């Protein structure tokens, strides 16, 4: 009987999951799904490997994270046959400095990962909840933690250091970067599409969380997120980079304590905070509210600025890739970013862009431009198999 691998990508507002079956050396996706949701209407959506929707079920409004995970597991188990579940892989956003690759889950590892939760409060607790729920449902089945941070761990030291007292860096107060599983996926698939894939590449992962990464030879050299997943671009509800002087001012003048400030910066800011309308890009693009338009403008402006910064880190720009829900689907955002990147030689074909690509660049573009789906789950599946088989991935 072939081996099956279940993959979880548990985020702040959604749980993505996928099932892979081992066929010889290959891992083949046999189904994927997502539990998305507003409290009023939490839905389990699932798709066949060719993208055909196969399920759209409303879960009870009161379904908590545990109940949502249970629904995902039920779906996975009913779609495993003829494979048998061999291991479960999880996206864990923060692995700290100790993990340059995936790791088998052990009680000692869970302790280390729990201590990192304050650095990624929208993610790490959900990731660890998913591991605990699976340990309860499948005691004894190997589980593997696949880290967002691992892809960036080899960034040059100058890219990782903050200009703070040196002892703090020795304690681990460094830039880490996130979305590493998504960047690894792009690094893996790009060479088959793009002749300059091993050159100077910037990837924009634009989803609810958003970051950008500069790569050379398929390896991260710099990224927009830092010590926490709050840094860099503005996101659905996170502020992105702000002046630390502003944080001090807010603490003093608004009588906020650390928890209140954390709530403001992680949950009430970003596109939601700026627009007062929504953190969802679809809603902002459909809105005729001036503040919604301004939020979109700020998002685009900050991506364009970050692109210049990352091109500087890479020593130029050969390839630009858009990925994540916004990067893959929002042609208007891609068009606006590329218009602001014309100085770098970026030219896209408007028809290709509207059609979703994947190849977007015009014939006279100095920079290749692609829109590619994010697929963190395929990386989780591969890393999970490698760990249970005892191979480094």
Ligand X SMILES: CC(=O)OP(=O)(O)O
User: Which of 208, 384 has the CB closer to ligand ADP?
Assistant: 208
Q: How far is the CB of 15 from ligand ADP (least distance, A)?
A: 10
- Which residue of the set 129, 148, 231, 318 is catalytic? 148
Q: How far is the CB of 119 from ligand ADP (least distance, A)?
A: 17
Q: What span, in angstroms and rounded, lies between the C-alpha atoms of 333 and 300?
A: 7
* Pick from 280, 282, 342: nearest CA to 307: 342
Q: What dihedral angle (degrees, nearest 10) is formed by the CA atoms of 306, 308, 313, 318?
A: 120
Site for Mg ion contains 207 (CB under 5 A): yes
Give SS3 for 204.
strand
Residue 147 burial (C-beta neighbours within 10 Å; 0-12, 13-18, 19+): buried
Known catalytic membership, residue 148: yes
Whether 19 and 30 have beta carbons less than 8 Å apart is answered as yes
Instruction: Show contacts with ligand X in window 176-195 (CB under 6 A).
Output: 178-179
Give SS3 for 324.
helix
Residue from 42, 124, 127, 208 in contact with ligand X (CB under 6 A): 208
Residue from 31, 209, 232, 357 in contact with ligand X (CB under 6 A): 209
Q: How far does CA 220 lie from the centroid of its chain?
A: 15
Specify the DSSP element, H or E, that contains 7.
strand 3-10
Q: How far does CA 342 lie from the centroid of its chain?
A: 27
Return binding residues for Mg(2+): 9, 376
Q: How far is the CB of 9 from ligand ADP (least distance, A)?
A: 7
Residue from 325, 334, 346, 385 in contact with ligand ADP (CB under 6 A): 325
Q: How far does CA 225 lie from the centroid of its chain?
A: 11
Strand order across the 14-23 sheet: 53-59, 42-47, 26-36, 14-23, 3-10, 84-92, 143-147, 103-104
User: Which of 146, 281 has the CB closer to ligand ADP?
Assistant: 281
Q: How far is the CB of 264 from ligand ADP (least distance, A)?
A: 20
| Among ligand X, Mg ion, ligand ADP, none, residue 326 binds (CB under 5-8 Å by kind) | ligand ADP
User: Which of 42, 208 has the CB closer to ligand X?
Assistant: 208
Residue from 10, 71, 236, 336 in contact with ligand ADP (CB under 6 A): 236
Instruction: Show contacts with ligand X in window 46-105 (CB under 6 A).
Output: 93
Residue nearest to ligand X (CB): 209
Whether 229 and 209 have beta carbons less than 8 Å apart is answered as yes
User: Which of 274, 387 has the CB closer to ligand ADP?
Assistant: 274
Provide the binding-site residues for ligand ADP, judged by CB under 6 A.
11, 14, 207-209, 236, 280-282, 285, 324-326, 329-330, 374
Residues at the interface with Mg ion (CB under 5 A): 207
Q: List the catalytic residues.
A: 148
């Amino acid at each position: 009987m072939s081996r099956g691998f279940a993959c979880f990508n548990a985020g702040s507002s959604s749980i993505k999951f996928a099932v892979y079956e081992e066929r010889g050396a290959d891992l083949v996706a046999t189904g994927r799904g997502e539990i998305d949701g507003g409290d009023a209407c939490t839905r389990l959506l699932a798709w066949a490997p060719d993208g055909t929707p196969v399920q759209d079920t409303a879960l009870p409004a009161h379904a908590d994270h545990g109940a949502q995970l249970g629904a995902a597991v039920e779906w996975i188990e009913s779609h495993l046959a003829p494979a048998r579940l061999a291991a479960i892989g999880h996206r864990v956003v923060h692995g700290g400095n100790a993990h340059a690759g995936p790791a088998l889950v052990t009680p000692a590892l869970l302790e280390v990962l729990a201590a990192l939760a304050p650095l990624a409060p929208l993610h790490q607790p959900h990731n660890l909840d998913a591991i605990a729920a699976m340990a309860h449902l499948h005691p004894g089945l190997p589980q593997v933690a696949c880290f967002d941070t691992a892809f960036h761990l080899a960034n040059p030291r100058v890219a990782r250091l903050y200009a703070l007292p040196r002892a703090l860096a020795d304690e681990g107060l460094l830039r880490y970067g996130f979305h590493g599983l998504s960047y690894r996926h792009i690094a893996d698939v790009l060479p088959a599409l793009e002749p300059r894939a091993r050159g100077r590449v910037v990837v924009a992962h634009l989803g609810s969380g958003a970051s950008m990464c500069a790569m050379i030879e398929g390896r991260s050299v710099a990224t927009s997120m830092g010590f926490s997943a709050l840094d860099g671009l503005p996101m659905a509800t996170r502020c992105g980079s702000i002046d630390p002087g502003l944080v001090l001012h807010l603490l003093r003048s608004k009588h906020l304590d650390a928890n209140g400030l954390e709530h403001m910066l992680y949950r009430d800011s970003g596109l939601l905070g700026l627009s007062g309308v929504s953190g969802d890009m679809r809603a902002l693009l459909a809105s005729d509210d001036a503040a919604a338009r301004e939020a979109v403008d700020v998002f685009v402006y900050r991506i364009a600025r970050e692109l210049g910064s990352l091109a500087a880190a890479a020593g130029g720009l050969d390839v630009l890739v858009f990925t994540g829900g916004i990067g893959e689907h929002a042609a208007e955002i891609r068009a606006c970013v590329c218009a602001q990147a014309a100085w770098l030689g970026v030219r896209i074909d408007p028809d290709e862009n509207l059609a979703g690509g994947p190849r977007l660049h015009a014939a006279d573009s100095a920079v290749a431009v692609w829109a590619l789906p994010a697929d963190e789950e395929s990386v989780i599946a591969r890393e999970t198999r490698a760990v249970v088989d005892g191979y480094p991935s």
